[in-house]
């Protein structure tokens, strides 16, 4: 007899009647990598407007470009980094620069998209056109390599594409290897684009590529799961079949996961944690000094006290380079003090060292003590805050009173765009590792947002432009040495140190590959 009581009891017990089948694990743990990161992608389309930093990782692993940077060993060991001048074909089987140096012809590999369709020159053209016309960061980055107009990309036949140069620019080819000019399955994108010629909405949430990995599932803010594309044609088939990238906001939790051995790879820990992990020796920490990256103190050359070059030099003389390196970066970087002869490299140490007497004399000559304000992005507070405090302390010794202003992330850009702040701490790292490229962004008269010092000097512009489009190496080197000497003396920005890009990996993980976009490249990683 079924009473109310037995019915309830049966209902409550129902869930506990065991389910017969067990979940089959398709891919074993040995072939799966668990990556823990602070935050994940906000889109799957790096060309789209407003894509966050981790989207570069999606572009890198799920899409192919014509070219890629050739892996070269990291000098200190631990894996590979890239060298700007050395490229290898990704989708391109071969490429040939024309004898007049004004175009380059690419022959495509027999590669297929995840959809099964063949990759054609028309797809490459559609994708490069898109990057040049979509606006926002993608277009800016394309322009940085003199890739400006769709007419530059010419389909010769199904497997051949020609890129016409509008000027000779050594950055054109390397710029085809960064994470912006990747190749979409254009037919699939147009079909699903719903009338939008760029298919922005659809590509934001879907992958239409030929890359080594596909996105199996994407839960923004929680996790991204990648699975290997077994038909990848553009390189050696990756060893790892599945990548799980979990977003773990708390660095303390990420560190605990690494130390307990539950996570395989972690990016973006505070420098102190990397140092501790390295000292403890249970996991590997691979550090690469960020190419073209430097923490600098920008001194406003247009308004406020630092219009006077003597005061800018005074700051450079009093900067506590070594203390900052130890106390804010815990040694995970390279000091920028005491450079001897200018080299063709960026960043490089300026000729200043910590010398209070010299600095004091310069301040006295320029009119004695004053008060000023130092700004930095609160998002970088882990590193920038101790740095700011040490600078405040050091400048007090020469009569400069510094007030520290910590600016919330969303406000920082607005703040630096004003170009009225006397002192700003900022880290800038260009993707393309050339001195002239760096100065083009941070000190050139075009006054980009990163020229925080608002530095204007026609002599410097001339040297930087000449180096950018130099016809040969000798004139390039001469121009670079000249502008380095110039900024050594003018110091619109006092370089403090070149930070290291650190990654913690379990001992069983090999094949680490650093990329200029600073996102993990799963294609080379191995486990076991």
Partner 1 sequence: MLRMIGQRLMTTIPSVIGVIIVTFLLTRVLPGDTAAYFAGPAASPQAIIEIRSKLGLDQPLPVQFVSYVAALVKGDLGTSLTTGQAVTKDLAARLPASAELTLAGLILAMAVALPLGVLAAVKQGSWIDHLCRIVATAGVSLPVFFTGLLLVYVFYFILGWSPAPLGRLDVFASEPPRITGLFLVDTLLARDFETFRGALAQLILPAVTLAIFSLAPITRMTRASMLAVLGADFVRTARASGLTDGKVIGTYAFRNAMLPVVTTLGMVFSFLLGANVLVEKVFAWPGVGSYAVEALIASDYAPIQGFVLTMAILYVALNLMIDVLYGVIDPRVRLEG
Judge contact between 472 and 277, C-beta under 8 A: no
CA neighbor of 266 nearest in space, from 281, 250, 288 = 250
CA neighbor of 139 nearest in space, from 69, 49, 66 = 49
CB of 44 to partner 1, least distance (A): 9
By CB under 8 A, residue 357 contacts partner 1: no
Nearer to partner 1 by C-beta: 218 or 317?
A: 218
Of the candidate residues 73, 85, 101, 135, the single one contacting partner 1 (CB under 8 A): 135
Of the candidate residues 97, 154, 244, 404, the single one contacting partner 1 (CB under 8 A): 244
Of the candidate residues 72, 166, 252, 396, the single one contacting partner 1 (CB under 8 A): 252
* 469 burial level (CB within 10 Å; 0-12, 13-18, 19+): middle
Nearer to partner 1 by C-beta: 99 or 250?
A: 250
Distance CA 253, CA 260 (A): 11
Q: Which two tokens stand for residue 142?
A: 């394309």
Of the candidate residues 49, 361, 389, 486, the single one contacting partner 1 (CB under 8 A): 49
**How far is the CA of 431 from the CAs of 84, 188, 335, 437, 516, in angstroms?**
10, 30, 21, 9, 5
Measured at the CA of 230, the angle between CA 229 and CA 234, to 5 degrees, comes to 75
Of the candidate residues 1, 5, 11, 23, the single one contacting partner 1 (CB under 8 A): 23
CB of 461 to partner 1, least distance (A): 17
Of the candidate residues 120, 141, 179, 426, the single one contacting partner 1 (CB under 8 A): 141
Nearer to partner 1 by C-beta: 126 or 431?
A: 431
Angle between helices 309-318 and 356-365 (to 10 degrees): 160
Nearer to partner 1 by C-beta: 3 or 21?
A: 21
Q: Give Cβ neighbours of residue 15 (< 8 Å, ≥ 6 apart).
A: none
Q: Tell the residue number behind the tokens 């960043």, with chain if given.
A: 347
Q: Which two tokens stand for residue 335?
A: 């000091």
Of the candidate residues 25, 110, 195, 230, the single one contacting partner 1 (CB under 8 A): 25
Distance CA 326, CA 40 (A): 30
Nearer to partner 1 by C-beta: 135 or 471?
A: 135
Judge contact between 271 and 126, C-beta under 8 A: no
Sole window of 146-154, 275-283, 409-417, 461-469 interacting with partner 1 (rule: CB under 8 A): 409-417
Helix (H, G, I), strand (E, B) or coil at 182: strand
Site string for partner 1, 411-450 (x = CB under 8 A): x-xx--x-----------------------x------xxx
CB of 223 to partner 1, least distance (A): 8
Nearer to partner 1 by C-beta: 16 or 77?
A: 16
Alpha helices in 1-152 (DSSP H): 4-13, 55-62, 121-133, 136-144
Nearer to partner 1 by C-beta: 259 or 308?
A: 259
Residue 270, preceding peptide bond in cis (omega within 30° of 0): no
Distance CA 523, CA 285 (A): 19
Site string for partner 1, 82-121 (x = CB under 8 A): ----------------------------------------
Of the candidate residues 122, 156, 303, 410, the single one contacting partner 1 (CB under 8 A): 410
Of the candidate residues 72, 122, 166, 222, the single one contacting partner 1 (CB under 8 A): 222
Site string for partner 1, 257-296 (x = CB under 8 A): x-xx-xx---------------------------------
Of the candidate residues 149, 167, 191, 219, the single one contacting partner 1 (CB under 8 A): 219
By CB under 8 A, residue 19 contacts partner 1: yes
CA neighbor of 55 nearest in space, from 227, 140, 178, 197 = 178
Nearer to partner 1 by C-beta: 22 or 474?
A: 22
CA neighbor of 73 nearest in space, from 64, 61, 57, 86 = 86
| Interacting residues toward partner 1 by CB under 8 A | 14-19, 22-23, 25, 29, 32, 34, 36, 39, 41-43, 49-52, 135-137, 139-141, 144, 204-205, 219-223, 244, 246-250, 252-253, 256-257, 259-260, 262-263, 379, 408-411, 413-414, 417, 441, 448-450
């Amino acid at each position: 007899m079924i009473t109310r009581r037995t019915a309830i009891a049966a209902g409550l017990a129902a869930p506990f009647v065991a389910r017969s089948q067990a979940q089959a694990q398709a891919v074993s743990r040995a072939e799966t990598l668990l990556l823990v990161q602070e935050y994940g992608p906000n889109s799957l389309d790096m060309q789209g407007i407003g894509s966050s930093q981790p989207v570069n990782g999606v572009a890198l692993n799920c899409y192919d470009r014509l070219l890629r940077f050739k892996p070269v060993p990291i000098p200190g060991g631990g894996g590979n980094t890239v060298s700007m001048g050395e490229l290898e074909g990704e989708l391109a089987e071969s490429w040939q620069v024309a004898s007049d140096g004004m175009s380059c012809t690419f022959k495509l590999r027999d590669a297929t998209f995840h959809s099964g369709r063949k990759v054609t020159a028309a797809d490459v053209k559609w994708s490069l056109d898109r990057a040049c016309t979509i606006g926002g960061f993608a277009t800016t980055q394309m322009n940085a390599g003199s890739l400006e107009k769709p007419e530059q990309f010419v389909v010769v036949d199904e497997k051949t594409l020609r890129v016409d140069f509008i000027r000779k620019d050594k950055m054109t080819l390397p710029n085809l290897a960064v994470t912006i000019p990747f190749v979409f399955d254009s037919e699939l994108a147009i079909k699903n684009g719903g009338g939008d010629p760029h298919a922005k909405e659809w590509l934001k949430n879907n992958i239409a590529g030929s890359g080594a990995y596909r996105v199996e599932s994407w839960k923004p803010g929680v996790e991204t799961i990648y699975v290997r594309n077994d038909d990848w044609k553009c390189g050696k088939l990756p060893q790892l079949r599945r990548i799980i990238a979990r977003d773990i906001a708390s660095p303390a939790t990420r560190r605990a996961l690494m130390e307990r051995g539950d996570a395989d790879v972690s990016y973006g820990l505070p420098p102190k944690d990397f140092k501790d992990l390295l000292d403890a020796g249970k996991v590997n920490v691979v550090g690469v000094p960020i190419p073209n990256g430097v923490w600098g103190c920008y001194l406003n050359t247009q308004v406020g006290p630092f219009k006077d070059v003597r005061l800018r030099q005074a700051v450079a003389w009093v900067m506590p380079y070594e203390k900052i390196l130890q106390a804010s970066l815990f040694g995970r970087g390279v000091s920028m003090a005491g450079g001897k002869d200018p080299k063709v490299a960026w960043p490089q140490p300026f000729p200043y060292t910590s010398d209070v007497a010299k600095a004091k004399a310069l301040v006295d000559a320029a009119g004695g003590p004053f008060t000023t304000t130092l700004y930095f992005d609160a998002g970088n507070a882990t590193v920038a805050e101790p740095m700011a405090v040490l600078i405040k302390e050091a400048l007090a010794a020469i009569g400069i009173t510094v007030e520290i202003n910590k600016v919330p992330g969303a406000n920082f850009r607005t703040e630096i765009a004003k170009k009225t702040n006397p002192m700003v701490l900022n880290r800038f790292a260009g993707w393309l590792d050339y001195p002239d490229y760096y100065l083009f962004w941070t000190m050139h008269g075009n006054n980009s947002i990163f020229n925080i010092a608002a530095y204007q000097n026609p002599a410097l512009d001339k040297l930087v432009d000449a180096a950018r489009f130099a016809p040969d190496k000798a004139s390039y080197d001469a121009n670079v040495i000249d502008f380095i000497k110039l900024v050594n003396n003018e110091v619109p920005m006092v370089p403090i140190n070149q930070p290291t890009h650190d990654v913690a990996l379990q001992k069983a993980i090999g094949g680490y590959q650093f990329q200029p976009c600073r996102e993990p490249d799963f294609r080379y990683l191995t486990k076991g």
